[in-house]
Amino acid sequence: MPRLTDRTQTGIPGMDELLDGGIPRGNLVVLAGDPGSGKTCFCLEYLYNGAMNFNEPGIYISLEESYDEIIRNGKEFGYELEDLIKKKMLMIETVELYDFEKLKNLIEDSIQVIKAKRLVIDPGVIFRLYFDRELDARKRIMSLGKMLKQIDCTTVITNEINLDKTRSLFGLEEYVADGVLLLYHTKIENRFVRSLGVLKMRGTKISEKLHPVTIGPTGIKVLSKQELFEDI
């Protein structure tokens, strides 16, 4: 098991400063956000930075978008994802099955193939289609989290927020996840403002403030030195 102080650096400008250096290695993190808040950009940048800057292979499990859509999304920010796939530094799996054990086995097998240290599951809200009972969901998702910890993989699962209410992943945020990051895309007066907050993160100090977020040609950036409303 990794030491508590071991970190997975996201490499996203400003993000790791909010987490005292990065996500504690092996944590399972829920990234929840409004539509258009930057969840996909965050996930792609997290995997891209891992491969390019930290020599950490990653896996993108897509439960909704196609392979071509993910590749196209990467190109918008200058990420040549297919080059990383050829080098076995990235794997993209598009999944259209609703059997959680098969999904778990696919994830475990894929991690072993490229010795992945980073994993993205997008969108996690699809988990709601896998289970009839909340208790079953929590147990199975908790078993997934334990498996990922044992193989030292740091995971981001996305979730959607609509109208200021989180569509719960069967208590994943409260009971299973080690960390919860919130991305907002909020209308303030006559403009939309993106921001990020760290709701919780086990094993590290965190910023308890909302910070502005920008999305540009090279990806997402967290303005860690600023608070959301100081210039509004």
CATH number at residue 16: 3.40.50.300
Residue 95 within any structural domain of the chain: yes
Question: What does the block give as tokens for 229?
Answer: 């409303």
* Residue 177 identity: A
**Span 135-157, pLDDT tens digits:** 777 788 888 888 888 888 999 99
Residue 103 within any structural domain of the chain: yes
Question: Domain total for the chain?
Answer: 1
Lowest mean pLDDT among 43-47, 59-63, 66-70, 157-161: 157-161
Residue 138 within any structural domain of the chain: yes
- pLDDT value, residue 169: 56
Q: Specify the residue for token string 């993160």.
A: 201
How many other β-carbons are positioned within 10 Å of the β-carbon of residue 96?
8
- pLDDT value, residue 162: 59
Q: How confident is the model at residue 132 (pLDDT cuts 50, 70, 90)?
A: confident
Q: What is the pTM of this model?
A: 0.89
Lowest mean pLDDT among 53-62, 66-75, 114-123, 146-155: 146-155
Residue 229 within any structural domain of the chain: no
- Domain span holding position 157: 7-222
CA distance 74 to 129: 27
CA 37, 131, 29, 117 torsion: positive or negative? negative
**Span 175-202, pLDDT tens digits:** 678 999 999 887 777 777 889 999 999 9
